[in-house]
Amino acid sequence: MKTIINGVKISLRAEWFDKDLLDFLREDLDLTGAKRGCGIGVCGTCVILINELPVQACKKTVADIVDMTVLTIEGMSNKDDPLHPLQQAFIDAGAIQCGFCTPGMVLTAHAFLLKNNCPSREEIRKAIKGNLCRCTGYQQIVDAIEEAARHYRK
Amino acid sequence: MSNYDSIDHVIGASLFLDDLPEPVNCLHAAICPSPVAHGKLKKINIDKALGIKGVITILTADSIPGENQIGTIIQDEPLLADKEVDFIGQPVALVVAGTARQADKAVKLIELEIEELPPVFDPRQAAANGDFIAPSRTLALGDIDKAWEKCATVVEGRTETGGQEHLYLEPQGSMAMPDERGGIMLYSSTQSPTAVQRVTSRVLGIAMHLVQVEVKRLGGGFGGKEDQATVYAVLAALAALHTSTSTKLILNRQQDMQYTGKRHPYSSDFKIGLDENGKILAYEVTYFQNAGAAADLSTAVLERSLYHATNAYYIPNVRITGHCCKTNNVPNTAFRGFGAPQALFVIESAIAKAAGMMKLPAWRIQEKNLLKEYDTFPYGARARQCHAKRAFSEILHSQKWEVTQKDIFNFNKNNSLIKKGAALMPICFGISFTTGFLNQAGALIHIYSDGSISVSTGAVEMGQGVNTKIIAIVAHTLGVNTDIITVQPTATRTVANTSPTAASAAADLNGMAAKLAADTLRLRLMDTAASRLGEHVSGISINNGKILLKGQPTELDWHALISDAYLSRINLSAQAHYATPDIYFDKNIEKGQPFAYYVYGTASIQVSVDILRGIVTIDAVNILHDAGRSLNQDIDRGQALGAIMQGIGWLTMEELVYNKEGRLLTDSLTTYKVPDIHSMPSEFNVSFMEDTDNPHAVLQSKGIGEPPFLYGTAAYFAIMNALIAARPDKPMFFNAPLTHEKILHFLTCE
């Protein structure tokens, strides 16, 4: 049994299946970009993508990623291009303050833009309704996603 | 320049406390909280809990080698309950185990024998019982008793404002490691590394130099980690001391919401008197602050309420009384605004109620009473560089306010299902810690032999961009680019005796200390350049990494100069200290000048209320704000937008609900509602006054963290105006938060 996380194939053992997926990522794989904000799947700080769909890792177990492709914030960019255009847009728009919500916010937006690369601001709002930010007031986050959309049209 | 931390944040590389690599065999601690709000602690039975696999030890008050005392302003709060419990969630014991799960499991098996005593949750009841944290205080100006008879209108009333959960997205946490010579190394998610160091030293009974505290960054603080982070750091340190093993203590969200203090709820009485033109002649107010079961920062919070009682208005006759009431709630604490928002809500309620009586729009009364230059505050200080009137009139103009008011009136006349409302909110916020001695900071700068620069200060980065501002200040002062400067984690070993990162003053204080250190280095380097070039120092300057002589480039650049200085054995390190000048206060006469300067501005907020469903939409928020010469407009705009949303959240949706035993029912994100993306106004603009100087802070800038929170107050009154348009038969009420439930109740009940 295997999974692919950020492009790397990882063999999974059955005894890990019951483990909280967020703990598995953070403790066993040292992928600490996904944060533990609420532990009950409502704040969005632990969002990762499983087969390009955003999920709250704190509500999943290792069994949920068997034969799946997982993307965490650490896998968003690649060596040739240290920042994905969406990440750059978050920086440019001032969409980041304390940074705790940022990985989940970016991945949620990424999954959304992969499906809808020409969104209205209203659609952007709906897409990130499950991600809380206590610092920014959200406007800059919507601006960043709107700006990044054009890169998904290419 | 965008926030210095942004790149690491956006790729997930920045480390928060819970992301730090754990030492080998790191233990995990969990708190056994008091299940009752008030009682005598008769017995703690830990036998069953000790039987849980992985449990190493269970610590109680008896395990404390030093003083069982974590109070800072007033020493009235034990670390672990001893003989008595005073609030639900108060730490009674600490389980230390191999894993967090084992520790949590053991906590449930601890048996507490508590003889319950009657609790008090109402600050007015506490005041009636004489239960105060500290003596009450009164500020006065003019002769209020004589002033009432001159008033054409006198209005009295009562207001309530609820508490507010900080909801920083990173919960409280700490990690303690035993160090050599019996010391402790602590990583803490705190806004006050020195407070953690001092209290750890007191509780463990070891000198402060044996306690090292380091903070890389916080995932939000908002005041919630100013005093409240200390308890978790000290508990982890106590566990590390007892087990001689590194110990980590992280709260989960529910524990964080249950155990930690909030914004203080206030219940207040007001009386306001005006002449026939709407000039306020007299204002009397009494605040009953719900401090909770221990002082924490309550007296300082109340002090700021007293100073901000009259907001941005000049009122000649004033009496302001504040009671710091002891209840059996969690000790309440700092939260952005620090008592000023509570005070502002009362004066604005008084104005709104008076306006209703006088058939005047509230904004006319606001406008007529704004502070002007040299007007006196009730505590004797005078308004200086006062932009209150200017901000207000520019907003009136830019928002075409009178036209907007007519449009809203006409809209409301023609629509029964949606009602619109609008309100203006002028603000005035004093910058400085009201506790005078805290207005100091230190900085340490090293320039390494390759020219790169390391800066350490006492400021804690929590998303507010203080490190980015400090880099800009150092770069500006030394004449170099920002990309060769790094800000180090905040650590008590590099900068000592720091004040909390709070009071909107972290960039002012630490930025000024960094500037002074950079000034020292610049002078040394200019001397070095002068002797190398064989010229007089007066012709030397450094700009953009180039060494200039009378403004012209020379053979020297920054790297060559630093190399030269190093080889010439010049000291490339400098430490500096800054203390805000000219601030003082005499508590005997309640007069003084507690603030270095004031921040002004005005907000306009427009809302629509769906009359059938009670749903509020914030249509437009427009702000004109005085940020002085902003050190970074992008950062300051971000701070303002976020603060306004928090202010709107506090007064419109964030509701803490308790059962009659005092247990918090809204202890999760499913029951406590904070602004989400749907709360974002569709029109949301913050403009800065472009030409306001401020000689009282670094590079003419102004503090930004807290003042914009006050603008959110306009949302309450805008919604209230819409509600009155729907139900002109009913009186306004002043009981925040103005939740969906209260709106529907107002609209539908007789």
Q: Calculate how close chain B gets to A49, using CA atoms only, in Å.
A: 14
Average pLDDT of the segment spanning B471-489: 98
Rounded Cα distance, B391 and B409, in Å:
25
Q: Are B391 and B602 in contact (CB under 8 A)?
A: yes
Q: Look at residue A110 and give its three-state secondary structure.
A: helix
B359 CB burial (10 A radius; 0-12, 13-18, 19+): exposed
pTM, two decimals, is 0.97
Is residue A138 located within the same domain as residue A109? yes
At B422, the pLDDT band (50, 70, 90 cuts) reads: very high
Residue A91, H or E segment: helix A85-92
Question: Each residue of B526-541: pLDDT tens digit?
Answer: 999 999 999 999 999 9
**With pLDDT > 90 as the criterion, what percentage of chain B qualifies?**
99
Chain segment B298-353, per-residue pLDDT in tens: 999 999 999 999 999 999 999 999 999 999 999 999 999 999 999 999 999 999 99
Q: pLDDT grade, residue A152 (50/70/90)?
A: very high
Smallest Cα–Cα separation from B342: which of B283, B302, B295, B300? Answer: B302
pLDDT of residue A78: 75
Which residue(s) pair with A56 in the sheet? A47
Residues A67 and A91 in one domain: no
Q: Which residues of chain B from 130 to 169 reach within 8 Å of chain A, CB to CB? A: 166-169
Pick from A41, A74, A107: which residue ends a domain?
Answer: A74
Residue A68 belongs to a domain? yes
Q: Is the pLDDT of residue A120 over 80?
A: yes
User: Does residue A135 form part of some domain?
Assistant: yes
- Considering the candidates B84, B706, B741, B750, report the single residue annotated as catalytic: B706
pLDDT, tens digit, 9 for 90 and up, residues B709-747: 999 999 999 999 999 999 999 999 999 999 999 999 999
Asked whether residue B90 carries a pLDDT value surpassing 80, the answer given is yes
pLDDT at B181: 94
Give SS3 for B244.
coil
CA distance B224 to chain A (A): 13
Q: Does B171 touch chain A (CB under 8 A)?
A: yes
- Residues A7 and A48 both lie in one domain: yes
Identify the band that residue B78 occupies on the pLDDT scale cut at 50, 70 and 90.
very high
For the segment B666-686, the average pLDDT, to the nearest whole number, is 96
**pLDDT greater than 90 at residue B3:** no
Are A91 and A121 contained in the same domain?
yes
Q: Phi/psi of residue B593, each to 5°? A: -125, 85
Q: Is the pLDDT of residue A79 over 90?
A: no
CB distance from B644 to chain A under 8 Å? yes
Say yes or no for a CB contact (<8 Å) between A96 and B219: no
A139 vs B5: CB contact, 8 Å cut-off?
no
Shortest CA gap B150–chain A (Å): 45
Question: What is the 3-state composition of chain A as percent helix, strand, coil, each rounded to the nearest 5?
Answer: 40, 15, 45
Closest residue of chain A to B647, computed from CA coordinates: A137
pLDDT at residue A143 tops 80: yes
Contact: B167, A137; criterion CB under 8 Å: no
Is the pLDDT assigned to residue B2 strictly greater than 90? no
pLDDT digits (tens, 9 = 90+) for A6-38: 999 999 999 999 999 999 999 999 999 999 999
Question: Can you read off the two tokens belonging to residue A61?
Answer: 């177990």
Specify whether the CB–CB gap between A4 and A10 falls below 8 A.
yes
Cα(first)–Cα(last) distance of chain B, in Å?
56
- With a pLDDT cut of 90, the percent of chain A lying above it is 95
Assign residue B585 a region (left: φ > 0; alpha: ψ between -120 and 50; beta: otherwise): beta
Closest Cα partner for B255 from B120, B161, B165, B164?
B165
Is the pLDDT at B542 greater than 90? The verdict is: yes
For chain B, helix, strand, coil in percent to 5 are 35, 25, 40
Q: How far apart (Å, rounded) are the C-alpha atoms in residues A8 and A10? A: 6
Interchain contact B705–A (C-beta under 8 A)? no
Q: Which residues pair with B625 in a beta bridge?
A: B601, B688
Please state, in angstroms and rounded to a whole number, the distance separating the CA atoms of residues B72 and B502.
15
The single-letter DSSP state of residue A55 is E
Query: Which residues from A are below 8 Å from B675, CB to CB?
Result: 137-138
Number of domain units in chain A: 2
Using a CB-CB cut-off of 8 Å, the residues of chain A touching B638 are 94, 97, 135-137, 140
- Determine the residue type at A138: Y
What pLDDT score was predicted for residue B9?
97
Q: What is the distance in angstroms between the Cα of B26 and the nearest Cα belonging to chain A?
A: 13
Question: Same domain, yes or no, for A30 and A91?
Answer: no
Contact B127, B323 (CB under 8 A): yes
Looking at the fold, whether A60 and A105 belong to one and the same domain comes out as no
Nearest residue of B to residue A121 by CA position?
A: B682
**Is the torsion defined by CA of B84, B87, B88, B90 positive or negative?**
negative
Q: Is B140 a residue whose pLDDT tops 90? A: yes
**Nearest-angstrom CA–CA distance, B526 and B542:** 8
Measured between CA atoms, how close is A12 to chain B, in angstroms? 23
Residue A83: its chain B contacts at CB < 8 A?
7, 10-11
The per-residue pLDDT for B156 is 98
Whole-number pLDDT of residue A25: 98
Which positions in chain A touch B8 (Cβ < 8 Å)?
99
**Chain B, window 605-624: residues with a beta carbon less than 8 angstroms from a chain A beta carbon:** none
The pLDDT assigned to B690 comes to 87
**Is the CB of A136 less than 8 angstroms away from the CB of B14?**
no
Whether B12 sits inside 8 A of A74 (CB atoms) is: yes
CB-based contact B291:B264 (threshold 8 Å):
yes
CA B425, CA B351: separation in Å to the nearest integer?
A: 11
Task: Please check whether residue A136 lies inside any domain of the structure.
Answer: yes
Residues A89 and A51 in one domain: no
B668 touches chain A (CB under 8 A): yes
Residue A22 tokens, joined: 């967020």
For residue A13, the enclosing domain spans: 2-74
Distances from the Cα of B533 to the Cα of B537, B548, B558, B570, B584, angstroms? 10, 10, 14, 16, 47
Using CA atoms, how far apart are residues A124 and B554, in angstroms rounded to an integer? 53
d(CA B79, CA B233): 11
Give residue A49's pLDDT. 98
Give me the pLDDT at residue A77, please. Answer: 87
Task: Summarize pLDDT for B444-462 with one digit per residue, the tens.
Answer: 999 999 999 999 999 999 9
Is A7 part of a structural domain of the chain? yes
CA B133 vs CA B137, B220, B290, B295, B336: distances in Å: 12, 29, 10, 6, 22
DSSP B372: -
Q: Tell me what percent of the residues of chain B surpass a pLDDT of 70.
A: 100
Distance from CA of B216 to the nearest CA of A (A): 12
Task: Decide: residue A154, CB within 10 A, 0-12 exposed, 13-18 middle, 19+ buried.
Answer: exposed
Chain A residues lying within 8 Å of B13, measured CB to CB? 33, 74
Both tokens of A50, joined, read 């499983």
Contact residues, chain B, for A140 at CB < 8 Å:
638, 641
Task: Tell whether A116 is covered by a domain.
Answer: yes
Q: Give A94's contacts in chain B (Cβ within 8 Å).
A: 2-3, 634-635, 637-638
How many angstroms separate the CA of residue A135 from the nearest CA in chain B? 5
Which site among B5, B9, B625 would you substitute to test the A interface, given the most A Cβ atoms closer than 10 Å to its Cβ? B9
Count CB atoms within 10 A of the CB of residue B401. 19
Shortest alpha-carbon distance between residue A45 and chain B (Å): 8
Residue B518 to residue B475: CA distance in whole angstroms: 9
Look at residue A82 in the predicted model and tell me its pLDDT: 84
pLDDT for the residue numbered B172:
98
Q: Element (H or E) spanning B314, and its range?
A: none
What does the pLDDT read at residue B4?
Answer: 85
**pLDDT tens per residue, range B677-713:** 999 999 999 999 989 999 999 999 999 999 999 999 9
Confidence of residue B750 (pLDDT cuts 50, 70, 90): confident
Tell me the CATH number at A30. Answer: 3.10.20.30
Run of H or E residues at B724: helix B713-726
Q: What is the pLDDT of residues B325-335, one digit of tens each?
A: 999 999 999 99
Helix (H, G, I), strand (E, B) or coil at A5: strand
Q: Give me the amino acid identity at A34.
A: A
* Stretch B406-430: mean pLDDT: 98
Does A131 map to a domain?
yes
Q: Which residues of B touch A70 (CB under 8 A)?
A: none
| B77 CA to centre of own chain | 21
Which residue, among B722, B640, B699, has the nearest Cα to B474 in the 3D structure? Answer: B699
Q: How many CB pairs under 8 A join A and B?
A: 172
Chain A contact present for B13, CB below 8 A: yes
- What pLDDT score does B154 carry? 98
pLDDT of residue B446: 98
Tokens of B689: 């006054």
For residue A81, the model assigns a pLDDT of: 80
Is the same domain home to A68 and A90?
no
Q: Strand B27-33 and strand B84-85: pairing?
A: unpaired
User: Which of B11, B635, B669 is the closest to A42 by Cβ?
Assistant: B669
**Mean model confidence pLDDT for chain B:** 97
State the amino acid at position A21 in one-letter form: L
Cis peptide leading into residue B737 (ω within 30°): yes
Please, where are the H alpha helices in B540-679? 558-567, 633-652
User: Which phi-psi region, left, alpha or beta, contains residue B611 (left: φ > 0; alpha: ψ -120 to 50)?
Assistant: alpha
Residues of A in contact with B646 (CB under 8 A): 134
Q: Are B686 and B640 in contact (CB under 8 A)?
A: yes
Q: Inter-chain contact A132–B169, Cβ cutoff 8 Å?
A: yes
Whether residue B373 lies in the annotated active site:
no
All residues at 6 or more sequence positions from B341 whose CB lies less than 8 Å from its CB, including other chains: B161, B263, B647, B650, B709, B710, B712, B713
Contact call for A33 and B12, based on CB within 8 A: yes
Check which CATH number belongs to the domain holding A113 and give it: 1.10.150.120
Q: What percent of chain A has pLDDT over 70?
A: 99
* Average pLDDT of the segment spanning B370-382: 98
User: Any chain A CB within 8 A of the CB of B501?
Assistant: no
User: Can you read off the two tokens belonging to residue B338?
Assistant: 């620090």
My answer on whether A122 and A58 are in the same domain is no
Q: Give the whole-angstrom CA distance, residue A109 versus residue A117.
A: 10
Query: If you average pLDDT over residues B348-373, what whole number do you get?
Result: 98
**Is the residue at A79 inside a domain?**
no
Residue B242 and residue B244: Cα distance in Å, rounded?
Answer: 6
Do A61 and A94 fall within a single domain?
A: no
B169/A133 touch (CB, cutoff 8 Å), yes or no: yes
> Which of A43, A82, A99 has the CB atom closest to B9's CB atom?
A99
- Comparing C-alpha atoms, which of B345, B329, B331 is closest to residue B266? B345
End position of a domain, from candidates A21, A47, A74: A74
pLDDT band per the 50, 70, 90 thresholds, residue B88:
very high
Q: Are residues A89 and A147 in the same domain?
A: yes
Q: Based on the fold, state whether residues A7 and A26 are members of the same structural domain.
A: yes
Per the domain annotation, does A80 fall within a domain?
A: no
Query: Is this complex scored with an ipTM above 0.85?
Result: yes
* Interface with A, mutate which of B3, B6, B460 (most A CBs under 10 A): B6
Cβ-Cβ contacts under 8 Å, A87 against chain B: 10-11
For residue A43, give the nearest of B7, B222, B669 by CB distance.
Answer: B669
